[in-house]
Amino acid sequence: MLEEKNDNLQEADGKSGIEISDSTQNEAIEILSSEIAPENEISPESEMESTVEVEETNHQTALDAITNSNAEESEDETLKERHDIPMQDYDTFSLDALVDELKKLVNTDKVMSVKDHIEEIKKSFLLQYNHLIEEKKEEFNASKQDPNEEFEYHSPLKSKFDEYYNVFREKRNAHFKHLQTNLKSNLENRLAIVEELKELINPQENIKDTLKHFNDLRERWKNAGAIPKDKYNHVWNNYHFHVENFYDYLHLDREARDLDFKYNLDQKQKIIARVEELVNETDISKAFRELQDLHRIWKEDIGPVSKEHRDTIWNKFSELTKKIHDKRELLFESQRANEQQNLEVKKAIIATIEVLATEKVGSHSQWLVQIQKVEALRNEFFAAGKVPSDVNEETWAAFKTAVRNFNSFKNSFYKDIKKDQNDNLNKKMALVAKAKELQESVDFGTTTPIMKQIQEEWKQIGHVPKKYSDKIWKEFKDACNHYFNKLKEHKSEENGDEVAAFDNKKAYLDTLRAYQLTGDHKTDLDAIKLHIETWKGFGKVPFSRRHIEGKFNKILDALFEKLSLSKKETEMMRFSNRIDSLSESNDTRKLDNEKIFLMRKIEEVQNEIFQLENNIQFFTNTKNAKKENSIVLEVRKNIAIHKESLDVWKDKLKQLRNLGQE
């Protein structure tokens, strides 16, 4: 019995010509061993034999590719359908796209037909996801405040991926369990058939009974089912070896045998004709898959042919197989060239990231630009496609190192500004506390300017750590909104009084327009002062109607002009009325502006006086200084006017300052 053979289809067609019995085989081995040339002896035909050996090796490589694939698919027929599902370049998929593709494949009925696809998806997903986790962890370590705080990151996308992959794994395990039970049983059945074939070679039995038994065994063999792929080649070769022995070395009915040989030859010639067509097929992968099926039919479904045709027909089939295999290798070579191009692209991307990891950047906005550049390069890296498998890990490690170095460089910048952000946080927390302290105040005249001021201070303070930003902003905004909502309600309550004050002042204007001076200075002055006090007593008017104050001031101005008052008295009374109006409106900004205006006017008048006095000094030092001319007199007059004006401005400033002390 032939227990182990390394050959496959070639010997399945009977090329070896091995005899019936085990003893005959042993004798052939001994004869071949004795005929081996000594190690140092070179035969004349050695060069030609070497060429033949190389050719046979090339043929054998092509045949082995077919056999190994058939062995795998013979073990599990659902694997055949994997060819109908395109194997995509999953390295170019985003994490979302990979999860969607996994979900779609898991829902297919034939779990083993998508096994390789799902494993490629898993590899691509974990590469990207682990890289993402590393980046998140580095960001966490760079920004964490509490040294005892541990890194945590939850991704809904990863949860979905694990869910779908677990469904696939459960389906795969159930499929394997069922498959293994059948494979073991089928293997035992086929080995038993081989043993029965060996026992058929018995000259004492009736030839018709032997033929019937032989045909029964062949039928049982066809229906025996799949066996483990690691046993596939050995078991099939043993079976065909004993089938050939039955045909070649037993004295069977030659007519029946020749008919069978003729039929088998015709079937194999049809296969060869089809393979000749496949040689010209443009879809190389499709041609190779069909070639697999034809090899399976040749080996499993069609019996041997007569010895005179065995070598010729097998060599023809083998040669055509090699041609398709060579075209397939060229396709793989083209794919490897593409992978090499992808490698160059990825190397260039890595080099660019390495440069970005050394460029000094001095502001947050500039770092955002750098981060966007690296993110775009990261996407380009994943979209670049596969690289040669022997450098895949090396390329991936270089990419991760480049990105890690960039992140470390970036984090060093943010560590430097971390202290500033913490200082800003303390400043803003102080403003939050102040806003909360004032939010219930009803002293609106005093509190409103303060609240507006702290709002301006908030705007001037820079960034705070991101984890606190939303929280303290909400607290600050809520406190400010609470106060200003109360202020708004208070103003709504005052609106009714302001409208009434406007109506009273409007009516009073008619009374004032009709007023006539008596001619007595003191009486008229007291009356005007009373009008002013009465007007003030009406209170504030709505902001949109404050134009009525201008009308009142015009009437006063006309009355003052009719009085025999000094210019200073008139000016001070007008100013006093105006300041009282501003004071009642609680418009501190306008009062401050008025104070600044007065101080500037005082400074301007003082400078004018100083300049005029310098001019007088120049004239008094000349030869004609004994008698002042008209120019000097004019200058002295201007000095007197300016000094009088200066007294008025100073009195106004004094009155305004006294108002602030009341």
Q: What is the pLDDT of residue 584?
A: 62
Tell me: pLDDT of 550 over 60.
yes
Mean pLDDT of 531-544: 78
Give the angle 468-469-472 at the CA atoms, nearest 5°: 80
Distances in Å between the Cα of 364 and the Cα atoms of 76, 93, 361, 375 are 59, 31, 8, 16
To the nearest whole percent, how much of the chain has pLDDT over 90?
3
Tell me which of 252 and 442 has the higher pLDDT: 442
pLDDT at residue 116, as a whole number: 79
pLDDT confidence of residue 42: 37
Cα(312)–Cα(108) distance, integer angstroms: 45
Region 557-566: what's the mean pLDDT?
70
Q: Tell me how far apart the alpha carbons of residues 226 and 236 are, in angstroms, rounded to a whole number.
A: 12
Average model confidence (pLDDT) across the chain: 75
519 three-class SS: coil
Cα gap 632→626, rounded to integer Å: 12
Q: Specify the range with the lowest mean pLDDT, choosing from 81-95, 97-111, 360-374, 497-511.
A: 81-95
Report which of residues 1 and 588 the model is more confident about: 588
Which pLDDT score is estimated for 582? Answer: 66
pLDDT classification of 352: cutoffs 50, 70, 90: very high
106 compared with 24, residue with greater pLDDT:
106
In the prediction, which pLDDT does 73 show?
53
Tens of pLDDT, residues 435-470:
888 888 888 878 889 889 989 989 888 888 888 888
What is the band of 473 on the pLDDT scale with cuts at 50, 70, 90? Answer: very high
Tell me the C-alpha to C-alpha distance, in Å, between residue 279 and each of 60, 283, 326. 18, 10, 10
The answer to whether 91 and 395 are in contact (CB under 8 A) is no
d(CA 41, CA 18): 28
The more confident residue out of 395 and 417 is 395
Using a pLDDT cut of 70, give the percent of the chain over it. Answer: 76
Lowest mean pLDDT, pick from 192-196, 295-299, 467-471, 486-490: 486-490
pLDDT at 21 (0 to 100): 36
Tell me which residue has tokens 């394997």. 176
What is the model's pLDDT at position 351?
A: 93
Whose CA is closest to 377, among 353, 360, 395? 353
pLDDT score, position 256: 66
Write the pLDDT tens digit of every residue in 65-75. Answer: 656 655 555 55
Higher pLDDT, 79 or 527: 527
What was the pLDDT predicted at 31?
27
* Tokens standing for residue 413: 């910048």
Over range 375-398, report the average pLDDT: 86
Mean pLDDT of all residues in 172-191 = 77
pLDDT greater at residue 203 or residue 12: 203
Residue by residue, DSSP assigns 522-591 as HHHHHHHHHHHHHHHHT----GGGTHHHHHHHHHHHHHHHHS---HHHHHHHHHHHHHHHHHHTT-HHHH
Least trusted range by pLDDT, from 294-303, 488-497, 638-647: 488-497
pLDDT digits (tens, 9 = 90+) for 38-58: 333 334 444 444 444 555 565
Higher pLDDT: 93 or 586? It is: 93
Instruction: Give the pLDDT score at 36.
Output: 29
d(CA 241, CA 8): 11
Residue 564 predicted with pLDDT over 80? no
DSSP annotation of 298? I
* C-alpha span between 435 and 439 (Å, rounded): 6
Most confident of 145-154, 288-297, 455-464, 647-656: 455-464
